[in-house]
């Protein structure tokens, strides 16, 4: 476990067990993002793929991948022990196909067919470090292989950015969160999170070796993007 350590309890000020419920009130189209990751993985991965879930948290994305690929071998990487404990319970029914690993997503990856992530890589705040992570991913992937990341991206142009935050705030309000609380969330997260633009993400992916980065799906700030090797 190196470099990037992250605690959900510190970040959201909640018990880790509450994460699955809370995330659906904070992140627009959370389950749709999982579905899109799985859909694109299904277009590339073999019948028995090896997949690594970076910052896998409670194991929700890994469960979706395991359901789509009944013979998949999946490693769930996270540095938050309490989240891994929750993931172990959620993923227990998949037996030895799932391995839980207390490891930072900034460490080198073993050979694999697919790498996925959901609402985790925004904790890398420096572009150079993110490029290194993407390089590690590209190096580890077999060909064909896929990297699919679900996260927030943010256009730096002021009017576009403001409109994006309005959309995000409106979603939170629809989920029962007061507007002032939503904006406080954004302010609190800014200490640990960095939302790069999709252009910047594509640039980092190209530098890492993905010749043709792709936006697989987008709704407001929420984006599923990556590349096929």
pLDDT in tens, 62-81: 999 999 999 999 999 999 99
Please state which of the ranges 9-13, 100-104, 204-208 shows the lowest mean pLDDT.
9-13
In Å, how far are 94, 112, 144, 203, 209 from 52, measured between CA atoms? 15, 7, 15, 23, 19
Integer-rounded Cα Rg, in Å, for the chain is 17
Query: Which residues have CB under 8 Å from 139's CB, separation 6+?
Result: 108, 109, 209
pLDDT at residue 17 in the model: 61
CA nearest 162: which of 188, 141, 183? Answer: 183
Mean of the per-residue pLDDT values of the chain: 93
Rounded to two decimals, the pTM is 0.91
- Residue whose pair of structure tokens reads 């470090």 in the numeric block: 129
Rounded to an integer, what is the distance from CA 172 to the centroid of its chain?
19
Is a pLDDT exceeding 60 seen at residue 194? yes
- How does pLDDT run across 106-161, given as a tens digit for each residue? 999 999 999 999 999 999 999 999 999 999 999 999 999 999 999 999 999 999 99
Mean pLDDT of 43-60: 96
For residue 93, what are its two tokens? 């029914």
Mean pLDDT of 101-107: 95
Is a pLDDT exceeding 90 seen at residue 182? yes
Please state which of the ranges 157-161, 169-173, 183-187, 189-193 shows the lowest mean pLDDT.
189-193
Name the helix (H) or strand (E) containing 198.
helix 198-208
d(CA 222, CA 229): 23
For residue 214, what are its two tokens? 């792709």
pLDDT at residue 3 in the model: 45
Mean pLDDT of 165-194: 96
d(CA 227, CA 144): 11
Q: Are strands 222-228 and 214-219 parallel, antiparallel or unpaired?
A: antiparallel
Domain 8-155+194-228: top CATH class: alpha beta
């Amino acid at each position: 476990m190196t470099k990037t350590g992250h605690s959900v309890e510190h970040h959201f000020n909640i018990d880790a067990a509450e994460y699955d419920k809370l995330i659906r009130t904070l992140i627009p189209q959370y389950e749709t993002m999982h579905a899109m990751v799985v859909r694109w993985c299904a277009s590339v991965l073999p019948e028995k793929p090896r997949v690594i879930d970076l910052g896998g948290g409670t194991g929700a994305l890994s469960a979706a991948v395991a359901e789509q690929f009944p013979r998949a071998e999946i490693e769930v990487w996270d540095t938050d022990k309490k989240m891994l404990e929750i993931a172990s319970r959620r993923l227990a029914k998949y037996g030895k196909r799932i391995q839980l690993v207390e490891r930072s997503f900034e460490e080198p990856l073993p050979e694999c067919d697919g790498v996925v992530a959901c609402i985790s890589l925004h904790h890398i705040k420096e572009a150079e470090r993110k490029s290194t992570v993407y390089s590690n991913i590209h190096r580890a992937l077999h060909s064909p292989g896929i990297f699919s990341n679900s996260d927030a991206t943010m256009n730096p142009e002021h009017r576009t950015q403001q409109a994006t935050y309005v959309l995000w705030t409106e979603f939170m309000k629809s989920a029962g969160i007061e507007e002032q609380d939503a904006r406080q969330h954004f302010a609190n997260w800014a200490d640990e999170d960095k939302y790069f633009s999709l252009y910047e993400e594509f640039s980092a992916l190209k530098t890492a070796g993905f010749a043709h980065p792709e936006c697989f799906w987008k709704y407001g700030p929420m984006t599923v993007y990556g590349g096929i090797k």
